[in-house]
Amino acid sequence: MWCVIILVRIRNILVPIDGSKNSIKGLDEALYIAQLSSAKVTVLHVILGLPPIPITDTIFEYRQHMKKQAKEFFGVARKTALKYKMNLDERIIFGIPQDDIAYFANHKRYDLIVMGARGLGSIKEMFLGSVSNATVHKSKMPVLIVK
């Protein structure tokens, strides 16, 4: 019987965050892995492209409010990274989390996605959150789900 071991160098880790406790747990795990492998960590927040009820006058206010909220999430992420004495790259994109996390990771050539099992989404599935489940199925690279 032959055993083949494939070692993959992890250089870039993507961590989607939404401000939930589980997304910060995912970040903590990603920082641990990054410290062991000297990898770079990018935190990503996806803002829904349009407000739940699109009204022309409120779209700009909605986007400004959501950007402000994302910056608060990034502040929590930076505090978490301080424990590991690491810096984070921070990215905000507008889109649909279920589609755009994997799309972003695939096109920016990340080696690993680390994310919490359930975030702040309104629809909760039995074992995985809808966003993490979609990311696992759409990603071309490994996805580590942290519960």
The pLDDT assigned to 107 comes to 95
The pLDDT assigned to 53 comes to 67
- On average, the pLDDT of the chain sits at 86
CA angle 8, 138, 110 (to 5 degrees): 35
Among 2-6, 57-61, 91-95, 117-121, top mean pLDDT goes to 91-95
The pLDDT assigned to 126 comes to 41
Q: What pTM was estimated for this model as a whole? A: 0.86
What share of the chain has pLDDT > 90, as a percent? 68
- Domain at 23-146: CATH architecture: 3-Layer(aba) Sandwich (3.40)
- Is the pLDDT confidence value at 127 over 70? no
Tens digits of residue pLDDT in 55-107: 666 777 888 889 999 999 999 999 999 999 999 999 999 999 999 999 999 99
Which is more confidently placed, 36 or 51? 36
Per mean pLDDT, which range of 35-44, 55-64, 95-104, 121-130 is the poorest?
121-130
Which is more confidently placed, 122 or 77? 77
Distance, CA of 21 to CA of 32 (rounded, Å): 17
The pLDDT assigned to 77 comes to 97
